[in-house]
């Protein structure tokens, strides 16, 4: 850590980006696991749709499916808060490289800038929000709709 004149600890651009990139690696592993679990939820919903199931099975499958959607939304929220935090921390530095400035500018142009705030709802990217809504509709539709004869 570097020190300012008032002995306040500050991080360098390199340290901020190193921590951000380390977070990307661990987040990628969680996302891969979350997508595997999402695949299992889709498989269960398809089996229920094709073969039918008692109401209790449908309820449990719905709880599982919604839990997996929550898990994935949380994983992407952690990615977003880490990205916000890195961009915000970089924006507070006095001497920022060109690549650091582009990183901050990209975040500011597409998602706005300010103090980082955690949110499960991907408000900065409406396409992702629509995609997750579609995932929930497909999972619940296949679980609860009857197959046409």
Per-residue pLDDT of the chain (149 residues; tens, 9 = 90+): 454 555 566 788 999 999 999 999 999 999 999 999 999 999 999 999 999 999 999 999 999 999 999 999 999 999 999 999 999 999 988 889 999 999 999 888 877 777 888 888 877 778 999 999 999 999 999 999 998 87
d(CA 120, CA 127): 15
Please say whether the beta carbons of 116 and 81 come within 8 A: yes
Q: What is the pTM of this model?
A: 0.83
Q: Which two tokens stand for residue 38?
A: 């999402």
Task: Say which residue the tokens 């800038």 belong to.
Answer: 113
Decide: helix, strand or coil at residue 9. Answer: strand
d(CA 25, CA 30): 9
What kind and span of H or E run contains 2?
strand 2-3
Angle (CA) 59 70 53, round 5°:
20
Decide: helix, strand or coil at residue 149. Answer: coil
């Amino acid at each position: 850590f570097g020190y300012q004149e008032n002995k306040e600890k500050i991080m360098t651009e390199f340290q901020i980006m190193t921590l951000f990139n380390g977070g990307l690696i661990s987040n990628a592993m969680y996302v891969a696991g979350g997508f595997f679990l999402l695949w299992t939820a889709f498989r269960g919903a398809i089996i229920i749709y094709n073969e039918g199931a008692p109401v209790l099975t449908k309820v449990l499958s719905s709880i599982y499916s919604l839990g997996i959607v929550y898990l994935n939304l949380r994983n992407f929220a952690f990615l977003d808060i880490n990205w916000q935090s890195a961009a915000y921390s970089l924006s507070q530095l006095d001497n920022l490289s060109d690549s650091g400035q582009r990183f901050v500018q990209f975040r500011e142009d597409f998602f706005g800038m300010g103090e980082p705030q955690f949110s499960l709802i991907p408000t900065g990217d409406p396409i992702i929000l629509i995609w997750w809504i579609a995932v929930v509709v497909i999972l619940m539709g296949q679980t609860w709709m009857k197959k046409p004869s």
